[in-house]
Structure formats: C-alpha cells, structure tokens
Chain A
Amino acid sequence: MKALHPNALRLPLHLAARLWLALLLIGLWELTADAGPGSYFPPPSVIVRALHRVWFSGPASDFFLTEQARSDFPVSFGHLLSGWVLAAAAGIALGLLLGRSERAHDYLQPLLQLCRSVPPPALIPFFVVVFQLDTSMYVVTIAFGAVWPVLLNTLAGVRAVDPVKLDTARVYGMGRTAQLLRIVLPGAAPQIAAGLRIALGFGLILMVLSELVGTTSGIGARLVNAQRTFDIPSMWAGIALLGLTGWLLNAAFLLVENRLLRWHREN
C-alpha cells in the first residue's frame, strides 16, 4: 500500500480544526430541539428537509429547482443584482467625482451625509408610494442602501492614491481621463472592491426587507407567507436559504477579487 502523502491530511485537519465547534453546536441543537409539529425551533434535520422540499426537490432537468424556486429566485436575485449594479455604478462614479474634485466634495458632502443618515428601510414606504410594487421599487430600495459603502470606500480609495503616482502620470503626458482610468481607478480598486462586497451584504438585507412588503413573489415574500401559515420549518428554510445565499455571494466575490487584485495581496 502506498503511504499517504503528509499533505493529504492537511486540508481535512484544517477544516476539522475550524468547523468542530459549529458542528458540535448544530449537533446539540439537533439533539435538544423539539421535532414535534408547531415547534418554533425545529431541529436542523427538519429545516434541511424543508429547504429541500420547498426549493431543491425539482427535476434534474431544471437543476433540481422546484417550480417555486424557478419563479422566486429570478425575481429576488434579479432585484438584488440590478440594485447592486446600480449602486456600484452610482457609488463609483460619485466617489471618483468627490475624491477628485475638492469643490464637488465641499458642495455635496453635507447632502450625502444627510442622505446616508436615513436608514434605508425607512424609505421603503416612500418608494412604495412612488414606484408602487413595480420592479423599480425593489431595485431602488436595494440600490439606496447598497450605494453608501461603495461611495464611501471609493472616496477613501481615491483620496489615498499616491500623489507621486499622479505626478508620474503628469510627467509622462497623461491627461485627466487617462489618469483617472489608469492610475486613480486601479489604485483605488482594493478599497472599491471592499465596498462592493459590503454592498452585496446590504443589498441582500434590503432585498428581503423590500419583499416583506405587500408582494407575493420572491424569497422574502415566501418567508412571510410561511410565517403567516405557521409553516415554521418552511420559514426556517427561507432563513437558511438567505444565510446560505449571503455566504455564497461573499465567497464568490472574494474569489473574483483575489484573482483580479492579486497584485495587491503580493505587495
């Protein structure tokens, strides 16, 4: 028999060292929870079964998605993605403007501080009045909440760009646009990326919040619906689904970020 390479055990051991407490707690939960119908804290196995039944028990040809998942996921994630992209575009553009122009900064900063102080969920009633329950309501709600981390991080990143690099660019004949695209934007990219990642989390929160209001489609709406019909396992399944989604989005973003900004980690 071939001897096991010493490195072969490293990853499982590493994972075990990191995960044992979480697994232990989930195990305790499983053993102590009340599995009976109507329990407010059903054990994890019941939640996983509900998660599977409600969202992931569809035919293989549909990637195992149930009909409900196929109707809700595109709605919810469509809102999230559109809102996030809108927030990213607006946040980066405004951050560049404010970071590069002292005058724009002086004029707009108080106004932006004021807007930022408003908790985005407080604006949902207003957005409902303006946009009704149209897609734009969800997208604008998400964008309004998610824009701040992008804007503030872009602003900080742009202001931190090394003046020597800008001097270098000027000496070598780069105009303002070239400086912006080739020096300022890449220089601020690590901070912008951090802002975009935080914005993704904010966006997910606001996606759910906006779907709790008077709508019948989307993951958030299912969650409220399950709660109203006392289908506690399905409600928990929705919560677990959202938690998993948040974790997956963050992990996917980190993967892309690490790849694109490898130079930053190496410095």
Chain B
Amino acid sequence: MLTIDALTHSYPGGHTAVDDLSLAVEAGELVTVVGPSGCGKSTLLRCIAGLQRPTGGRVLLNGDEIRDVPDSLAMVFQSYGRSLLPWLSVRDNVALVLRHRYGSRRERRAAALEALAEVGLADAAAKHPGQLSGGMQQRVAIARALAYGPKLLLMDEPFGSVDAQTREDLEDLLLALRARTPVTVVLVTHDIDESVYLGDRVVVLTGAPGRVLAELPVGLPADRDQIKTRQDPEFVRLRAEVGRLVREK
C-alpha cells in the first residue's frame, strides 16, 4: 500500500535527516518505527504525509507518488496541545475536519459525537481542549483522525507526552480501534517497549542520517495485554533485540 523508495531528505544548510531509506507497508499493517533521537523519524513521517517534499527518492501510496497531502491520510501529532484548536469545542475540533465528508453541519456534528464516543469522550464533547487532561486531549486527536476515515494513519510519537498509566490506556485504545477499523498505521516512537507492544512489525532506523537498519516481524498474538504480553518470551526477546539494534551505531 505504502512504498518508500530510496527516500532522502536534506535540509537547507546541509543536514541530512533521512538517507536512502526504503520501506514497504502492507494494507492493514501496523508498523512501528523506532530509532535513536534525531534519526529523522519525524522527517520521514512529514514526507509520507506530503507536508514536505523529499530532496530525493519517492513515496508511493497505492502506486501514486505523493506530491501533496493525500486525501486518504490522517495524522496524529505528538503535541496534541498544539494540534487541537483551543477556540473550538472538542466536538467542533473533530467536526471541522469532516467538511469534505458530510454536507451539513448537523451530520458533521453527529459523526464527531460518534467518534468521541468511540474513544470514551462522549461526555466531554462540549468542553474546550484546554479543559481536558493531556491524555484526554490526545484521545480527541485520535478521534479526529479516525473520524476523517483515513486509509493510512500516521502517528508521530503520539503517546510521548503523557504519563505512564495514560500511555498504556492509549496504547490499548489504539489497538482496540484498529481491530474495529481497517486502517494502516505507521507509528513513530522512541520507546522500544511500545514499538514491540503495538507493532505487527518493528522497523529500526540507524542514527542520523536515518536509514533502515532492521525490520523485525512481531510474532505476538493480535490480542495483546499490558501485563501478559510484556511477559511473553517473544516480547522479551524482541525488546532486547530492538534495544540492541537501537544502541548500535
């Protein structure tokens, strides 16, 4: 579904963030991308999203080269506080992105409420983002992304700014939502445990400039559990393996 072909991106000034990176993602897959900080993970996502034109290589979505932001793509940013609009209610934050999907405001709002209910925030619809906790705000951002009905969902360290307990809740929320909707996910994280816990496949990048160091299929059952999965020998083996690779220079 998504093919990244020899992607290279250098910023003006000479810093090369991503160098000759190739990767293929199948439809319905959840691929986690992990690597040392500064390895160009965000640049990679921005190039996939069409927010940034790479200086070299191509990104293909269903065979078409991405030149602008594709219609069937949604993204969840790390800084939910900066991505949500503080002047709109939570419901209207979600409804705003549905303008192309539904004709009337009533339909948009109904769809927004439905999406908020999916992430357990039906009661908070009338509140403004500033009145919610960080974890709840990120739930809103996830509801917004899913309501948009994307084929491909990009997540840039989505759970990096919340506390550990909230993080686990959000991880399980993502897995539950994904089981219900056929969506392909590329999730960037710097957390090794998270990359294994969430992924069908873990892609490890090298340090800057980023390129693919290893791709590890995750041989864990689809139904994952914060306690049991983390004790599974396969999980323990994989996280040690990924940890070793990330530290490798």
The distance in angstroms between the C-alpha atoms of A126 and B177, with both chains bound, is: 69
Specify which of A162, A173, A261, A266 is in contact with B69 (CB 8 Å cutoff).
A173
Specify which of A165, A182, A186, A189 is in contact with B82 (CB 8 Å cutoff).
A165
In the complex where A167-B51, A172-B97, A173-B100 touch, is A263 in contact with B74 (Cβ < 8 A)? no
Counting residue pairs across A and B whose Cβ atoms lie within 8 Å, the total is 54
Specify which of A162, A172, A178, A189 is in contact with B74 (CB 8 Å cutoff).
A172
Interface status of A45 (Cβ within 8 A of chain B): no
Q: Chain A's nearest CB lies how many Å from the CB of B113?
A: 18
Offer 24 A-B interface pairs, CB within 8 angstroms, sorted by A: A162-B82, A164-B77, A164-B82, A164-B83, A165-B83, A167-B46, A167-B75, A167-B77, A170-B69, A171-B49, A171-B51, A171-B73, A171-B75, A172-B74, A172-B96, A172-B97, A173-B71, A173-B100, A182-B85, A183-B85, A186-B85, A264-B87, A266-B130, A267-B130
Residues of A within 8 A of B77 (CB): 164, 167-168
Number of residues from A at the complex interface, CB < 8 A: 20
Nearest neighbor of A167 in chain B, beta-carbon distance: B51
Q: Which B residues contact A (CB, under 8 angstroms)?
A: 46, 49, 51, 69, 71, 73-75, 77, 79, 82-83, 85-87, 96-97, 99-100, 128, 130-131, 144, 148
Q: In the bound complex, do residue A171 and residue B82 qualify as a contact, i.e. CB atoms below 8 Å apart?
A: no
Residues of A within 8 A of B97 (CB): 172-173
- Chain A residues numbered 111-165 whose CB sits less than 8 Å from any CB in chain B: 162, 164-165
Residue from A167, A183, A187, A264 having most chain B Cβ neighbours under 10 A = A167
**10 closest residue pairs by CB, A with B:** A172-B97, A164-B82, A267-B130, A263-B87, A171-B75, A168-B83, A186-B87, A162-B82, A267-B86, A263-B86
Nearest neighbor of B141 in chain A, beta-carbon distance: A168
The distance in angstroms between the C-alpha atoms of A80 and B82, with both chains bound, is: 38
Residues of B within 8 A of A264 (CB): 86-87
Residues of A within 8 A of B87 (CB): 186-187, 189, 261, 263-264
